[in-house]
Amino acid sequence: METDLPQAQDTPEAREYNRLQRQLTIADALLGLAMLAIILVTGWSADFRDITFRISGGSNYILALFLYVLLLSVISRLISLPLDYYGFRLEHRYKLSNQKLGGWIGDEAKSYLLGLALSTLVTQLLYFLIRDFQTYWWILAWALFLGLFVALAQLAPILLFPIFYRFRSLENDALRDRLTRLSERAGAKVRGVYEWKLSEKSKKANAALMGLGRTRRIVLADTLLENYTDDEIEAVLAHELGHHVHNHILKSIIVQAVISFVGFWVVKTALRRPYPEWFSSQADFANLPLIMLVATVMSLLLLPILNTYSRFNERQADQYAWKTIPSIQPFLTAMNKLAAQNLAERVPARWVEVLFHSHPSISRRIEAAEHWIRPTT
């Protein structure tokens, strides 16, 4: 089945917006790496450790570690704040944001406190394992990391996202029933269909199948509900259900398990080398910047590979959607609407797609859909 729906080209505004977003991403990553490297090689990390031990009374390891994480997080936040504010202004410059400055500051504060709580939990558990299981701590830490990864994926829809956004049950009964039936055909049991009040902060549109098990739910941005037909919304959700049908969540957990196992082994190897001017032992939390540095470098090096894998998954999800919906046309119109509303690049340079994009470009998705032929029965 083919259509004659024309593809729009990128506007100069879309190209400029995405170029600035890429520059912002690169600058943020380089700034983070530079901060960690400087704190480590100058010996400041050891100085910070000594300061936190003095404040905590000299022998309270747990309190000193918390104070160290707090100090590191404050420094990181202050350094990254100008770039974050630039990102906030960038969304307004291109008329993609509805959020006021006060709301943005509130979200930044909530994000910081949530990050501090999670990082405190992770670091306390990590250094507990390092202290008590000196040989095999990295394997135990890897297993713990996987457990937390899965737990957060399950709890995010009911604990984390509501901190930043409002949700309510979808009032459109016909659409709710239609999407629920679509989910049931895909073998995905959902615990409800929710309207996501995204318009309170953004003019972009989105939809998702959130959560795992008993927390799995369909989430539709109000910006999507206002501007898209029921057929187009069904096409967008059919794509999301394609991830469930192809077990992409489970496969991603397995991929994450392999990568994190290698990552913890690399960290363990790095910590065993003598760095007397930086830290005294594996259990010396002055080595935390080194752990973060190794993890960040590995993430950046693996990003093109992970993006390639993600684009493969997205193509599979698209193909499932094409097989499921009655007509390809709503998928095509939804893609064009999303590209225009979100100011996405339809035809990015190939190197940009490889390095930065977790989804195939809009032009490639539309071209693949237009050339897709429904199997005959």
- In the chain, the percentage of residues whose pLDDT exceeds 70 is 96
In a domain, 1, yes or no: no
Please give the tally of structural domains in the chain: 1
Contact 118, 145 (CB under 8 A): no
Residue 274 has pLDDT above 80, yes or no: no
Among 145-149, 271-275, 328-332, 337-341, the minimum mean pLDDT is found in 271-275
* C-alpha distances in Å from residue 101, one per residue of 94, 106, 107, 133, 198: 16, 9, 10, 47, 16
Categorize the per-residue pLDDT at 373 as very low, low, confident or very high, splitting at 50, 70 and 90.
Answer: low
Confidence of residue 5 (pLDDT cuts 50, 70, 90): very low
Q: What is the mean pLDDT of the chain?
A: 92
The pLDDT tens digits for 275-333 are: 777 888 888 999 999 999 999 999 999 999 999 999 999 999 999 999 999 999 999 99
Q: Is residue 70 pLDDT above 80, yes or no? A: yes
Residue type, 255: V
Q: What is the mean pLDDT of residues 127-155?
A: 93
* pLDDT for the residue numbered 6: 47
Q: Place 361 in a pLDDT band, splitting at 50, 70 and 90.
A: very high
Range scoring the smallest mean pLDDT among 77-91, 256-270, 276-290: 276-290
Angle (nearest 5°) at CA 334 between 330 and 335: 120
Please answer whether residues 348 and 18 qualify as being in contact, where contact means their C-beta atoms are separated by less than 8 angstroms. Answer: yes
pLDDT band for 374, please (50, 70, 90 cuts): low
Instruction: With respect to residue 98, please indicate whether it lies within any of the assigned structural domains.
Output: yes
119 CB-side CA count, 13 A: 21
Residue 193 lies in a domain: no
- Establish if 108 belongs to a structural domain: yes
pLDDT tens, residue by residue, 9-28: 789 999 999 999 999 999 99
CA distance 172 to 195: 10
pLDDT of amino acid 3: 43
Residue-level pLDDT at 7: 52
Q: What is the pLDDT of residue 366?
A: 93
Is residue 2's pLDDT more than 50?
no
Q: How many CB atoms lie within 10 A of CB 273?
A: 7
Distance, in Å, from the CA atom of 183 to the CA atom of 230, rounded to the nearest integer, reads 15
pLDDT tens-place string over residues 26-50 = 999 999 999 999 999 999 999 999 9
Specify the pLDDT at position 230: 96
Any residues with CB less than 8 A from the CB of 372 and at least 6 apart, and which? 1, 319, 322, 328
pTM (two decimals): 0.89
Distance CA 207, CA 338 (A): 11
Answer yes or no: is 219 within a domain. Answer: no
Judge whether residue 154 has pLDDT over 70.
yes
Residue 59: predicted pLDDT: 82
Q: What is the mean pLDDT of residues 118-130?
A: 96
**Within-domain flag for 51:** yes
Higher pLDDT, 58 or 60: 60
- When pLDDT is averaged across residues 348-366 and rounded to a whole number, the result is 93
Across the chain, how many H-helices and E-strands are there?
14, 4
> Does any domain span residue 248?
no
Contact 197, 167 (CB under 8 A): yes
For residue 355, what are the domain limits?
12-163+253-370
Q: Which of 232, 207, 240 is nearest to 331 (CA)?
A: 232
Tell me the residue type at 298.
M
The single residue listed with the structure tokens 């990552």 is 263
Those residues with Cβ within 8 angstroms of residue 39's Cβ, 6 or more apart along the chain or in another chain:
45, 48, 72, 75, 289
Kindly report, residue by residue over 227-261, the tens digit of the pLDDT: 999 999 999 999 999 999 999 999 999 999 999 99
Per-residue confidence (pLDDT) for residue 281, from 0 to 100:
86
pLDDT value, residue 272:
85
- Whether residue 262 is contained in a domain is answered as yes
* pLDDT number for residue 278: 85
